[in-house]
């Protein structure tokens, strides 16, 4: 049961698929990376090569040789595990899994890297629902240790155990999410935080730089060592209760994205990828920040793992 699955297919060679392929190839697993879009596989191989040079410089050539590429889903048919990382579109994902279900042998396990779509809704496209889980990686997928493993109503214990064993073998810290709840755990907490941060910006309480400064150097640095519940214990649940009693009613609780968020998207200010978001980004700055943060996150994760045994 603790034996990792050795032959993996990754469907979708974008930001997440490339990172997931780099991670598993660097740990000695065989990868088939599948993407039908023009130029996607070439771009992905360049990205993977660059990523491996950052954190596994001694083994780049060997890892790259473990990655086969293909435009067609048929190439997944000898895999022990297929991880899907195509765009966040329910019908696209369902269509891919329906096809894979007819192509792959019964032993092949299926996983989706959806950020928050219902695992039940995606899994209902296949007959092998007992062999289907969500594996929610975080970007950069080869660096951030945690993966949320999300079961659908029919996922078997054996499937969970095999997928978790494979993730652990690759150095990940998988956590089982017991219910198929929208956003799972991390995105619910991340969006609660971002909703409040965007609301503070919209109200003019502080600049984007200052809001980020407050979060990074207070909550952020502390959260790297203590989760929000452990931190409540340390602060005192009575103190938390007293503050919650007057503060909750003043917190942002809108159920639709705010006007600021909507206007950013409508005016094309969608962030680092096109030069303007809450900050201004040149292509050079974007590339440098991505590279530097990725390397720093890797060092931080390694330090945290060693320091506290990761607890
Ligand atoms: N980017 C993130 O921060 C992040 C984090 C966690 C989860 N996710 C989830 O991971 C998934 C992928 O996100 P991403 O950021 O890598 O997207 P992306 O746009 O970078 O990559 C998607 C890839 O899928 C390919 N693709 C499109 N149609 C396909 C098809 N029919 N068959 C095979 N490949 C196809 C595209 O060519 C592209 O290379 C999404 O579900 C997303 O919500 C993203």
The residue annotated as part of the active site, out of 26, 136, 152, 294, is: 136
Question: Domain map of the chain by residue range?
Answer: 7-177, 187-258
Mean of pLDDT values over 83-96: 98
115 is catalytic: yes
pLDDT of 311: 64
Task: Quick: pLDDT tens for 195-243.
Answer: 999 999 999 999 999 999 999 999 999 999 999 999 999 999 999 999 9
Check: CB of residue 80 under 8 Å from CB of residue 107: yes
136 is catalytic: yes
* In the predicted structure, residue 309 carries a pLDDT above the cut 70: no
Tell me how far apart the alpha carbons of residues 126 and 53 are, in angstroms, rounded to a whole number: 38
* In the predicted structure, residue 1 carries a pLDDT above the cut 60: no
Site residues for ligand 1, CB cut-off 6 Å: 11-17, 34-37, 40, 85-88, 96, 113-115, 137-139
Could you check whether 7-177 and 187-258 share the same CATH topology? no
253 is catalytic: no
List, as one string, the DSSP characters of 146-162.
Answer: EEEEEE-TT--HHHHHH
Residue 114 C-alpha to ligand 1 middle, in angstroms?
Answer: 9
The residue annotated as part of the active site, out of 70, 120, 187, 226, is: 187
Tell me how far apart the alpha carbons of residues 12 and 34 are, in angstroms, rounded to a whole number: 6
Strands in the chain per DSSP E: 7-11, 30-34, 67-70, 81-84, 109-112, 132-136, 146-151, 173-177
156 is catalytic: no
Q: What is the CATH number of domain 7-177?
A: 3.40.50.720
Q: Which CATH class is domain 187-258?
A: mainly alpha
Structure tokens at 48: 């993977």
Ligand 1, atom 28, lies closest to the CA of 86
Taking CA 87 as the corner, what is the angle to CA 84 and CA 90, rounded to the nearest 5 degrees?
80
């Amino acid at each position: 049961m603790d034996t990792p699955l050795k032959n993996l297919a990754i469907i979708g060679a974008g930001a997440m698929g490339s990172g997931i392929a780099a991670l598993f190839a660097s740990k000695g697993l065989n990868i088939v990376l599948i993407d039908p879009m023009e130029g996607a596989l070439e771009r992905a191989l360049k990205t993977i090569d660059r990523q491996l040079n950052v954190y596994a410089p001694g083994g780049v050539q060997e890892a790259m040789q473990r990655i086969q590429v293909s435009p067609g889903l048929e190439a997944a048919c000898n895999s022990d595990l297929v991880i899907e990382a195509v765009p966040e579109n329910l019908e696209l994902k369902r269509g891919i899994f329906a096809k894979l279900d007819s192509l792959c042998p019964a032993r092949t396990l299926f996983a989706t890297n959806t950020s928050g779509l219902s695992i039940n809704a995606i899994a209902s496209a296949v007959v092998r629902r007992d062999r289907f889980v969500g594996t929610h990686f975080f970007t950069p997928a080869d660096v951030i240790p945690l993966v949320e493993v999300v079961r659908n109503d029919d996922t078997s214990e054996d499937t969970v155990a095999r997928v978790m064993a494979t993730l652990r073998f690759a150095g990940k810290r998988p956590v089982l999410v017991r219910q198929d709840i929208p956003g799972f755990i991390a995105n619910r907490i991340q969006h609660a935080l971002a909703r409040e941060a965007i609301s503070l910006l919209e109200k003019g309480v502080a600049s984007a730089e200052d809001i980020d400064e407050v979060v990074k150097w207070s909550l952020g640095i502390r959260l790297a060592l203590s989760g929000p519940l452990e931190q409540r214990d340390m602060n005192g649940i009575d103190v938390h209760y007293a503050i919650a009693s007057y503060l909750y009613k003043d917190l942002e609780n809108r159920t639709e994205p705010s006007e600021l968020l909507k206007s950013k998207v409508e005016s094309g200010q969608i962030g680092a990828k096109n030069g303007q978001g809450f900050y201004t980004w040149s292509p050079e700055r974007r590339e440098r920040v991505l590279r530097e943060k990725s390397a720093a996150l890797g060092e931080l994760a390694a330090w945290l793992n060693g320091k506290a045994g990761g607890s």
